[in-house]
Amino acid sequence: MHDAFLLEPWLYAALTSLALLTGCIDAIAGGGGLLMMPALLYTGLPVPLVLGTNKLQSSCGASIATWRYHRAGLFSFRASLPAVIAAFAGAAAGALFIQRFDAHVLRLVVPLLLMTAALYTLLSPRMEDAATTPRLSKRAYLPISGSIGFYDGFFGPGTGQFFAATLVGLRGLGLTPATGLTKLLNLASNVASLIVFAFGGQVLWLLGLCMGAGSMAGAMIGTRLATRYGARLIRPLLVTASLALTGRLVWGWFAAA
């Protein structure tokens, strides 16, 4: 059971503390992976183990954020079920596909998508708490939910930003309700990916659960801030996370070139 990948005890404490911060960031705007993924890679763990273990800790945080946003009345489980199923199925397919495909090409495409999401969040008057007229019906949004889920299982960075931007821009949700529903859809895609990685033996359960505890604590803080301050807090953090992810991915692409 991965005995060759035992970690120093201080790394458990450090990564759990970091998960508290990233759990807070993810609950508000997404983008916590910008910090967590490099930290996990620093440990020297193989990439599949990093991906699987990260899905475990992020699933823990997303579960708390989802529960808190649901209690705040930001979404309905029943009404959201079709989009959840689409995101789950897409993520499972993406997690299976990534094990058979070189994802290097996405390092060029994803920064462009993230920059688009950041500019839309920054410039669009629709990125506020007021709901607007939907451009797509719930049924028409299902392929988009499935595609973003596939991307989350396949690669991951920026999933929260993509869900939030499309829910506001295409489904007409206010930014705070869109953030709540984003966590539900992100939870579905995380759990689907986790199941696939777990069946492949690509999860360090002790480390992932320790980090998950930190992520859950961070999600409690983040959801409280988001529901209290709404778009005033979410919008600038969403832009910052999108731009930071874009810069990080562009840097990584040119550094690997």
Residues 13-47: tens digit of each pLDDT? 999 999 998 899 888 877 777 678 778 878 888 87
Q: Is residue 1 part of a domain?
A: no
Nearest CA to 154 out of 100, 85, 82 is that of 100
Domain that holds residue 57: 9-256
Residue 226: inside a domain = yes
Give the count of domains, the chain: 1
User: What pLDDT score was predicted for residue 151?
Assistant: 87
Q: Which two tokens stand for residue 207?
A: 């480390």
Mean pLDDT to the nearest integer, 125-147: 84
Percentage of the chain lying above the pLDDT 90 cut: 42
Q: What pLDDT, in 10s, does the model give residues 197-216?
A: 999 888 999 999 999 999 99
149 within domain boundaries: yes
pTM, 2 dp: 0.82
Q: Judge whether 97 lies within some domain.
A: yes
CB 249 within 8 A of CB 114: yes
Is residue 35 in some structural domain? yes
Task: Tell me, yes or no, whether 180 lies in a domain.
Answer: yes
Inside any domain, residue 3:
no
Average pLDDT of 72-83?
93
Report the alpha-carbon distance of residue 34 to residue 12 in Å, rounded. 19
Phi, psi of 12 (to 5 degrees): -60, -45
pLDDT at 3: 45
Asked whether residue 123 is domain-assigned, the answer is yes
Tracing tokens 């990439």 back to the chain, one arrives at: 47
